[in-house]
Amino acid sequence: MLSPVLRSELSALEPEYTDADVISTVEFSQSGEFLATGDKGGRVVIFQREPQGEYNVYSTFQSHEPEFDCLKSLEIEEKINKIRWLPQINSTHFLLTTNDKTIKLWKVSERDKRPEDIVDLKPENMEDLSEVITVAEFHPHHCHLLAFSSSAGATRLCDMRSRALCDRPAKLFEESVDPAHRSFFSEITSSVSDVKFSHSGRYLLTRDYLTAKVWDINMENKPVEIYQVQDYLRSKLCALYESDCIFDKFECAWNGTDSVIMTGAYNNFFRMFDRASRRDVTLEASREVCKRRAVLRPRRVCVGKKRRENDISVDSLDFRKKILHTAWHPTDNIIAIAASNNLYIFQDRHGPGHHGGHQLEQDKPLQLQDTTRQ
């Protein structure tokens, strides 16, 4: 059972927020002591967990600045697509930040120094640009292995021992699209919006617009598991394209034992999939559920008519409400959910000893306690 231990509402501090204040990524450090967020303005905010269990601001800095290509009149946004923490060495903390074109490596204690560029997809002529970087991730046990994904639907695994600039991947993970199922939207929906190594380092979890996939790093040609996250949206792709929602980028996360994966959806829903039982549950993050002794009941999106009390029709989904950014504590059952400029942190009431090992139950409500800090 999950309880909110912190909800950081930027709107409570700043009633009028701009588009640059919208959170674009959220990520726990490997130990869970730190939590980093990035926003559309290119800023990084790092929170540190206090002995009492609450997360307070530790550091803020500007990671990316807007750029402009004069030859093509193309603006390169400063928005941070993803943040990834590296395994800690001694007392030093490193993290990766990426926008559309550049991956930067930061040393937290030396944030004023210039970072090192390790991947740069910018061609000499910007008209030749065919894809943009969406996410980068270091292997949890081998610091020389770097995975990064792109809008072309491919995930590359690079060995930094071979080249200082990782422009030639050692492995390429890409699923070929069946010509019978190819459509106008296939290239857009296949864009990889997130990639995460499992804690064991054996698997890669990727997320595209409609599905989440698990890859064995020793098998490049196809994923070993596919989860239909938003298959019910296939009939809505034309309308989602016209509203630009089809370009939304959803993140994904492993639990501490690699037995459950989590990712976001529309209507402020987030979904969890149990890899062993193949069960899944859909939950909602909102201010309404963050009430004392509130019951967080599983929801279900149906294509036809509603059949149960907590069902919602796909035609009734609010596409303005979306959970794009999720993170799971590496050892405890604590999850962070970002909804627009609101950050929700939920904790399993069973306590830290559970480590996410319990199985999901589709119809079982979750009892919440209100420990939210306003």
Mean pLDDT of 227-251: 95
Grouping H, G, I as helix, E, B as strand and the rest as coil, residue 109 is helix
Q: Are 289 and 342 in contact (CB under 8 A)?
A: no
167-172 contact pairs (CB < 8 A, 24+): 167/119, 167/120, 167/121, 171/217, 171/220, 172/220
236: DSSP letter: G
Task: Give start and end residues of each alpha helix (H) in the chain.
Answer: 10-13, 186-189, 237-242
Enumerate residues 6+ apart whose C-beta is below 8 A from 303: 232, 235, 313, 314
Strands 155-159 and 171-173: antiparallel
Q: Can you name the CATH fold of 128-348+364-373?
A: Methylamine Dehydrogenase; Chain H (2.130.10)
pLDDT of residue 108: 79
Nearest alpha-carbon partner for 147 in 80, 100, 215: 215
**Residue 184, burial from CB neighbour count under 10 angstroms (0-12, 13-18, 19+):** exposed
Q: For the chain, give the number of residues.
A: 374
pLDDT of residue 6: 53
Nearest alpha-carbon partner for 267 in 307, 305, 236, 227: 236
Amino acid in position 291: K
Q: For residues 72 and 296, give the distance between their C-alpha atoms in angstroms, rounded to a whole number.
A: 50
- Between the CA of residue 207 and those of 50, 221, 316, 362, what are the distances in Å? 32, 17, 24, 22
Asked if residue 371 has pLDDT above 50, the reply is no
Instruction: Label residue 258 left, alpha or beta by phi (over 0 means left) and psi (-120 to 50 means alpha).
Output: left
pLDDT of residue 368: 37
Distance between first and last Cα of the chain: 22
Task: Determine what percent of the chain falls in helix, strand and coil, rounding each to the nearest 5.
Answer: 10, 40, 50
Asked if residue 149 has pLDDT above 80, the reply is yes
266: DSSP letter: B
Nearest alpha-carbon partner for 93 in 159, 34, 160: 34
Amino acid in position 35: L
- What percent of the chain is predicted at pLDDT more than 90? 38
Q: For residues 230 and 215, give the distance between their C-alpha atoms in angstroms, rounded to a whole number.
A: 19
Rg (CA), the chain: 20
pLDDT of residue 109: 67
- Between the CA of residue 101 and those of 136, 315, 325, 342, what are the distances in Å? 12, 36, 20, 27
- The torsion angles phi and psi of 354, rounded to 5 degrees, stand at -80, -35
Nearest alpha-carbon partner for 269 in 289, 299, 237, 304: 299
pLDDT of residue 205: 98
pLDDT of residue 66: 86
pLDDT mean across residues, the chain: 81
Q: Are 230 and 252 in contact (CB under 8 A)?
A: no
Q: Residues 240-266: pLDDT tens digits?
A: 999 999 999 999 999 999 999 999 999
228-233 contact pairs (CB < 8 A, 24+): 229/263, 229/265, 229/271, 230/265, 230/266, 232/301, 232/302, 232/303, 232/314, 233/266, 233/314
Amino acid in position 42: G
316: number of Cβ within 10 Å: 11
Enumerate residues 6+ apart whose C-beta is below 8 A from 90: none
Asked if residue 367 has pLDDT above 80, the reply is no
pTM of the model: 0.69
Q: Residues 96-113: pLDDT tens digits?
A: 999 888 888 888 765 445
